[in-house]
A and B are shown apart, each in its own frame.
Chain A
Amino acid sequence: MHFFRVIRWIAWKDLLSEYRNRENISSMFFFALNVILIFSFSFSLDSETIKEIMPGIIWVAFGFTAIIGLGKSFLIEVNNDCMEYFQTLPIPKGAIYLGKFLGNLLFMLTVEIVLFPLFVLFFNLDMIDQFLQLLLISTVATIGLSALGTLFSALTVQIRAREVMFPILLLPLSVPIFIGAVEATRGVLNADAFSLYSHWIELLVVFDVIFVIVSFWIFEFILDY
């Protein structure tokens, strides 16, 4: 019970501080909006080509958003001298990881849900009917991104050149998430049967399970320093 309460408190603390200053979500949102605008200026596309490249554009925007948002996840703790408290608190360290992970997941999902209508608007897409499938893909892909991103945020926050190192470490290892998410999103945009792209969602779920467990186990070693 104590374990789950810690997770809830950490996630609640992050959500509350975000609600008060709206620093993270607003920077993620406006950054992604800029990416979308640049893409919409760069391509003048017919409806067939747009279906082909749209999944890539969506996930490039979400990937950049993740870099902006997740990279800052532990910075707030360092700036407020909270890392020492995390290290000394008599609570399971994995619960701190899961709390931060949950907070990051909720931030990213919020930004993604707000961004979907903008994709519809700027690229004249017809994906309202497939919103639930897209939400499912976004959720499973974002769980994986948040799991790795939260871990690497804790790892890079204490080093020099953290802004450079965070994407350098996160992006290569997130390749399965991007491949799975792009291919599944393409299936949805082409209005394919669910069974034709469900294996991509299964791959994302496998990635999520493995990385949440490995990161949970390994987080304690990071917090020792």
Chain B
Amino acid sequence: MVATRFIGWLRKYEKWFGLTATVLISAGLYTGLVTSSPDYYQGEVVRIMYVHVPFAQTAMLAYSTLFLCSIWYLWKKEAVVDNACHAAAGLSLFFTAGGLITGSIWGKPTWNAWWVWDPRLTSFAIMFLTLVGYLMLRTFLDDKEKKATFSAILAIIGFVDLPIIHFSVEWWRSLHQPLSVSNRGVSIAPDMLVPFTLMSIGVGILFSYMLMVRTQMLYLEHLLEAKQGRLLNEGQL
């Protein structure tokens, strides 16, 4: 019942999320790539940041969603919550890979290296490996409940480990620029802040939209498998 209500809610609101994401990302790309001025030091290269930063932020949002859904699954054991976990993990991997690739493209002209062992880069690389491990673990398990529980455990352990990984690499070596927006104030030009904000919110909503659609797809697959299993038992297939 909870699952049916939840899927009904997703169907009702998903198009609004998709529409809002399209509008915000279009406006963000236009202001970021056309109207905003190039950076004093970085020149035109700074424009990659309008994609890189929202991707990196959304990757973290997606992993946080995976973490919360994993706790929720261990608590309630709802199949649809496991579908949401699976969807969030795939999307988190997509945004993490996007963040790493765009960061690497930005790093070459700026740091003169495709890759450096910087805390944020290393944390993201390890988050990427953990997510690959998560999805591999799911493929190697056949029993649905075991698959959902074991992968939820891995997601929780990985989430708890990420801040420690970050601190350990930060002490080891640090190269990344400090946060541009923090509780100490904003250190970014206003015509750059507009596309940053639009893209950050837009990609965040795009993630929500993709999560809604993917969760529904996985839930339908789950229902189909359950139905096929029942028909098989009844000798109708």
Residues of chain A at the chain B interface (Cβ within 8 Å): 148, 151, 155, 158-161, 165, 168-169, 172-173, 175-176, 179-180, 183, 199-200, 203, 206-207, 210-211, 214-215, 218, 221-222, 224-225
Min C-beta distance of B156 to chain A, whole Å: 7
- Of all chain A residues, the one with the shortest Cβ separation from B150 is A155
Judging by beta carbons under 8 Å apart, are A155 and B154 in contact?
A: yes
The CA-CA distance from A200 to B164 in the complex, in Å, is 12
Judging by beta carbons under 8 Å apart, are B145 and A225 in contact?
A: yes
Judging by beta carbons under 8 Å apart, are A165 and B157 in contact?
A: no
Judging by beta carbons under 8 Å apart, are B137 and A159 in contact?
A: yes
Judging by beta carbons under 8 Å apart, are A218 and B153 in contact?
A: yes
Judging by beta carbons under 8 Å apart, are A214 and B164 in contact?
A: no
B141-167: CB near A (< 8 Å → 1, else 0) gives: 101011001101110111011001101
Q: Name the prevailing secondary structure of the A interface residues.
A: helix
**4 shortest interchain CB distances as A-B pairs:** A176-B168, A172-B129, A225-B146, A179-B168
* A179 CB contacts on chain B under 8 angstroms: 168-169, 171-172
Q: Is B8 an interface residue (CB 8 A)?
A: no
B12-55: CB near A (< 8 Å → 1, else 0) gives: 00000000000000000000000000000000000000000000
* B165 CB contacts on chain A under 8 angstroms: 173, 175-176
Not counting A173-B130, A206-B164, a sample of 15 additional A-B residue pairs whose C-beta atoms are within 8 angstroms of each other reads A151-B157, A155-B137, A155-B154, A159-B140, A159-B141, A160-B140, A173-B161, A175-B169, A176-B165, A176-B167, A211-B157, A211-B160, A214-B156, A222-B149, A225-B143
A-B contact pairs, 22 of them (CB 8 A): A148-B157, A151-B157, A155-B154, A160-B140, A168-B129, A168-B132, A169-B133, A172-B129, A173-B157, A175-B165, A176-B164, A199-B171, A203-B164, A203-B168, A210-B164, A214-B160, A215-B157, A218-B156, A221-B74, A221-B149, A224-B149, A225-B145
Min C-beta distance of B122 to chain A, whole Å: 8
- Of all chain A residues, the one with the shortest Cβ separation from B173 is A179
The CA-CA distance from A200 to B71 in the complex, in Å, is 31
Residues of chain B at the chain A interface (Cβ within 8 Å): 74, 122, 126, 129-130, 132-133, 136-137, 140-141, 143, 145-146, 149-150, 152-154, 156-158, 160-161, 164-165, 167-169, 171-172
Judging by beta carbons under 8 Å apart, are A207 and B164 in contact?
A: yes
- Of all chain A residues, the one with the shortest Cβ separation from B73 is A221
* A148 CB contacts on chain B under 8 angstroms: 157
Contact pick for B168, options A180, A221, A224, CB 8 Å: A180
Min C-beta distance of B133 to chain A, whole Å: 5
Contact pick for B157, options A160, A161, A218, CB 8 Å: A218
- A176 and B161 contact, Cβ closer than 8 Å, known pairs A160-B140, A199-B171: yes
Min C-beta distance of A91 to chain B, whole Å: 21
* B126 CB contacts on chain A under 8 angstroms: 172-173, 175
Judging by beta carbons under 8 Å apart, are B153 and A183 in contact?
A: no
- A203 and B167 contact, Cβ closer than 8 Å, known pairs A159-B137, A165-B136, A165-B140: yes
Min C-beta distance of B93 to chain A, whole Å: 13
- Of all chain B residues, the one with the shortest Cβ separation from A161 is B140
Judging by beta carbons under 8 Å apart, are B171 and A175 in contact?
A: no
- A221 and B141 contact, Cβ closer than 8 Å, known pairs A169-B133, A175-B168, A206-B164: no
Judging by beta carbons under 8 Å apart, are B150 and A172 in contact?
A: no
Judging by beta carbons under 8 Å apart, are A169 and B168 in contact?
A: no
Judging by beta carbons under 8 Å apart, are B137 and A165 in contact?
A: yes
Min C-beta distance of A200 to chain B, whole Å: 8
The CA-CA distance from A56 to B110 in the complex, in Å, is 30
* Max chain A C-beta neighbours (<10 A), residue from B140, B156, B164, B171: B164
Judging by beta carbons under 8 Å apart, are A169 and B160 in contact?
A: no
- A221 and B153 contact, Cβ closer than 8 Å, known pairs A176-B165, A203-B167: yes
